Amino acid sequence: MGKRWQVEKKNEHYYKSAKKENYRSRASYKILQLDKRFKIIKKGDKIVDLGAAPGGWSQIALEKIEETGMVLGVDLKRIKPFPEENFQFIQGDFTQKEIQDKIMEKIGGRANVIICDAAPSLSGIKDIDQLRSMDLAENVIKIAKNIMEFRGNLLMKTFQGPGYQELIKKFKKEFKIVKTTKPASSRKASSEMYIIGLGFKEK
């Protein structure tokens, strides 16, 4: 099955397109499609990319903000450096307060946009994995409440299942506009969904 999956992956449209266009991941097309539809990122934004490795989303974010903004990637795994000087990286667990403090220090204020395509470590047990996914999403919302600029935007991957509707309700408490979608580049068999929060509310 492993070899078959690798063959399917290499033949898959977005995988081949990413190689051709020198994108680090097929996931780059997800954020491209979502940003085109919802206008999440603007030129000059300060962006925090949680769970950034291998860098597919950070790469697109750098294109969108041009030279006047900055992208801060955070991940347990190291990321191959980008040539752009306005990219910074923190290696660590973004659910930990120590790393969250480092994020605030690095961005020098508050983030205009938080993006997160992270997924928890999977056990293979559906119920446990869904709980881990919801816990990760809760952490992302907490971080947003701590470091997000008024009227900022949040784009996050999550998974359908128990807790999903409650998560959407929590988004609606924090953002003026909340949208859920699955971009064309997301695999049809995947239960992943993307939640977009636009216009972080003033506290």
Q: Where do the domains of the chain lie, and which CATH numbers do they carry? A: 25-200 (3.40.50.150)
pTM: 0.89
Percent of the chain topping pLDDT 90: 66
pLDDT, average across residues 102-120: 91
Amino acid at 153: N
Q: What angle, rounded to 10 degrees, do the helices at 13-20 and 28-38 form?
A: 90
- Residue 79 or 14, more confident: 79
Q: Is 69 helix (H, G, I), strand (E, B) or coil?
A: coil
With tokens 């907490």, the residue in question is 142
**Which residues are tagged catalytic?**
157
Model pLDDT for residues 177-197, shown as the tens digit of each residue: 999 999 988 888 788 899 999
Amino acid at 119: A
Q: In whole angstroms, what is the distance from residue 191 CA to residue 185 CA?
A: 13
pLDDT of residue 1: 46
Model pLDDT for residues 77-106, shown as the tens digit of each residue: 999 999 999 999 999 999 898 999 999 899
- Residue 15 or 150, more confident: 150
